[in-house]
Chain A
Amino acid sequence: MTNQSQPQKFIVPIGPQHPALKEPGHFEFGVDGEIVTSATIRLGFVHRGIEKATEDRTWVQNLYLLERICGICSNIHGTVYAIGVEKLAGVEIPPRAKYIRTIVAELERVHSHLLWLGVAAHEGGFDTLFMYSWRDRETVMDLLEGLSGNRVNYSTNLIGGVKFDINEKQADEIRRGLDFLEERTHYYMKVVTTDETFLGRTRDIGTMTREQAELLGAVGPTARASGVPRDVRSESPYLAYNEHPIQLQVHDGGDLLARFIVRLNELFDTYRLIRELLDHMPAGDLTVRVPRRIPEGEVLIRGEAPRGELVYYLKSSGSDKPDRIKVRTPSLCNWGTISHVAVGHKLADMPMLLVGIDPCFSCNDRLVTVNNTQNSQDLTWDALRRYGIEYYK
Chain B
Amino acid sequence: METKLPSTWEKALDSIRTWARVNSPWVIHFNSGSCNGCDIEILATLTPRYDLERFGVKLQGSPRHADVLICTGPVTRNARDRLVRIYNQMPDPKFVVVVGSCGLSGGVFHGSYNVMGGVDEVIPVDAYVPGCPPRPEAIIHGVVALLDSLKKKP
Contact = CB atoms under 8 A, between A and B. Distances in A.
Given A22-B39, A23-B36, A49 B61 contact: no
A70 B36 contact: yes
Nearest to A66: B108
B86 A46 contact: no
A130 B40 CA distance: 13
Contact of B33 (A46, A119, A360): A46
B79 interface: yes
A226 interface: no
B41 A151 contact: yes
Contacts of A68: 35, 37, 102, 107-109, 132
A147 B113 CA distance: 35
B3 to A, nearest CB: 34
Contacts of A19: 60-62
Contacts of B60: 19
Given A17-B63, A134-B48, A152-B37, A22 B133 contact: no
A151 B61 contact: no
B36 A151 contact: no
Contacts of B76: 45-48
Nearest to A68: B35
Contact of A153 (B74, B112, B133): B133
A318 interface: no
Interface residues of B, number: 42
A12 interface: no
B112 A50 contact: yes
B82 A45 contact: yes
Contacts of A153: 37, 132-133
A96 B74 CA distance: 37
B82 A16 contact: yes
Contact of A362 (B28, B35, B43, B62): B35
A47 B39 CA distance: 16
Contacts of A45: 31-33, 76, 78-79, 82
B34 interface: yes
Nearest to A119: B43
B36 A134 contact: no
Interface of A: 16-20, 22-24, 44-50, 52-53, 64-65, 68-72, 74, 115, 118-119, 130-131, 134-135, 137-138, 141, 151-153, 360-362
Given A50-B112, A52-B112, A360-B36, 14 more contacts: A24-B32, A45-B78, A46-B73, A47-B33, A47-B78, A48-B74, A53-B111, A68-B37, A71-B35, A71-B40, A134-B47, A135-B48, A137-B44, A153-B133
